[in-house]
Amino acid sequence: MTTKRTVVASPASQTIGWTREFEAPAPRVFEAHTDPDILPLWTGPAGTTLEMREFDARTGGCWSYIVRAGNGEGWAFHGSFHEVTAPRRLVQTFEYEGEPGHPNIEVIEFEDLPGSRCRLSGLSVFLSVEDRDAMLGDMDKGMDENFERLDGLLAGR
Amino acid sequence: MTTKRTVVASPASQTIGWTREFEAPAPRVFEAHTDPDILPLWTGPAGTTLEMREFDARTGGCWSYIVRAGNGEGWAFHGSFHEVTAPRRLVQTFEYEGEPGHPNIEVIEFEDLPGSRCRLSGLSVFLSVEDRDAMLGDMDKGMDENFERLDGLLAGR
């Protein structure tokens, strides 16, 4: 089954809202977002590896990783875990080190659905409409690719 | 000298922007925001004390305190330090525990001005216009009171 992500990104708004359903219960999908051994298995574009530097997924913790390409290039990201309340809510800040001073905050709610499924509802809030617009496109599409990799992982593939 | 804070809070926006000048260099004002022994001396409404629970002001750290009234009532707040780059930029998340699920992110830039003065430029971004509107008023006025207390502290009063 293909599950599509719905995205709401109104003009002149500085937020991106999205929902995405998964064929697994919320606790498993929450774990995939917060376990440093599982996150690298589904995060990052095809052909890259995720080099974890720090990853302390608890309220008040922080995280840092590099998306590493085969040719050695890398893109570094880091942020804080404002709230980690398993298996319901995850609130993180997120910054791309190539664009310092432009962090965003993302709230993801994990909701159980019948049939051992779940729905994630995400809201990313940026410092400005411009920052939000810059994220739409490639980065946002990257989330779809990541979630497809996660589908496979959850299905045991 | 009375220094007034300029505030920009446009209708239908989810941000509050502000600037405020101080009669001290940026490093001293930055320190007042990040030293757990100094912060309680100027933070919180008259008649309250600041009970520090956790305060690790470094990139990736977190903070937590209770504003305690004389009658024992208290209001708890906590957040993460997304970035602490002394003496230039401070980026924190902020949540009032009486309203869980409604954090905001605040970026404060500290800029030196001639004559051993400095200017703080702040941008608070909320999850929604409603959250932003709820913060305007009492909480925002509280910032003016805090800054007046800080003026006194910086002047050695």
Interface test with A, best of B15, B16, B83, B128 (most A CBs within 10 A): B83
Residue B9 banded pLDDT, cuts 50, 70, 90? very high
pLDDT in tens, A127-136: 999 999 998 8
Q: Where are the domains of chain B?
A: 6-44+85-142
User: For position B138, what pLDDT does the model report?
Assistant: 72
From CA A84, how far away is CA A15, in angstroms rounded?
A: 21
What is the pTM (predicted TM-score) of this model? 0.95
What pLDDT was estimated at residue B3? 66
pLDDT at A120: 98
Tell me if B27 sits within 8 A of B42, measured CB to CB: no
Mean pLDDT to the nearest integer, A79-107: 97
Q: For residue B136, give how far its alpha carbon lies from the nearest alpha carbon of chain A (Å).
A: 18
Percent of chain B's residues with pLDDT above 70: 98
Q: Is there a contact between A103 and B91 if contact means CB atoms under 8 Å apart?
A: yes
CATH topology of domain B6-44+85-142: Alpha-D-Glucose-1,6-Bisphosphate; Chain A, domain 4 (3.30.530)
Determine what percent of chain B is predicted with pLDDT higher than 90.
87
Nearest to B60 among A15, A62, A103 (CB): A62
- pLDDT, position A3: 66
Q: What is the mean pLDDT of chain A?
A: 94
pLDDT in tens, B77-100: 999 999 999 999 999 999 999 999
Please give the interface size between A and B, counted as residue pairs whose CB atoms are below 8 Å apart. Answer: 77
Reported ipTM: 0.94
A38 by DSSP, 3-state: which? coil
**Quick one: pLDDT band at residue B4, thresholds 50, 70, 90?**
confident
Q: Is pLDDT above 90 for A2?
A: no
Residue of B nearest to A63 (CA): B60
- In degrees and rounded to multiples of 5, residue A57 shows phi and psi of -85, 80
**What confidence category does residue B102 fall into, taking pLDDT thresholds of 50, 70 and 90?**
very high
Contacts of B91 in chain A (CB under 8 A): 93, 103
Using an 8 Å CB-CB cutoff, list chain B residues near A54: 60
Residue A69, pLDDT above cutoff 90: yes
pLDDT digits (tens, 9 = 90+) for A11-65: 989 999 999 999 999 999 999 999 999 999 999 998 999 999 999 999 999 999 9
Cα distance between residue B21 and residue B118, in whole Å: 6
Chain A residues lying within 8 Å of B127, measured CB to CB? 15, 105, 107, 123, 125
With CB atoms and an 8 Å threshold, state whether B93 touches A103: no
Distance from CA of B109 to the nearest CA of A (A): 10
**Which residue of chain A has the CA closest to B85?**
A101
Q: Quick check: A101 and B89 CB within 8 A?
A: yes
- In the prediction, which pLDDT does B15 show? 96
Chain B partners of A127 at a C-beta cutoff of 8 Å?
15, 105, 107, 123, 125
CA–CA min distance A75, chain B (Å): 18
Sheet of A74-85, strands arranged across? A6-8, A15-22, A117-126, A104-113, A89-96, A74-85, A62-69, A48-55
Q: How far apart are the first and last CA of chain B?
A: 14
Mean pLDDT of the B40-44 span: 96
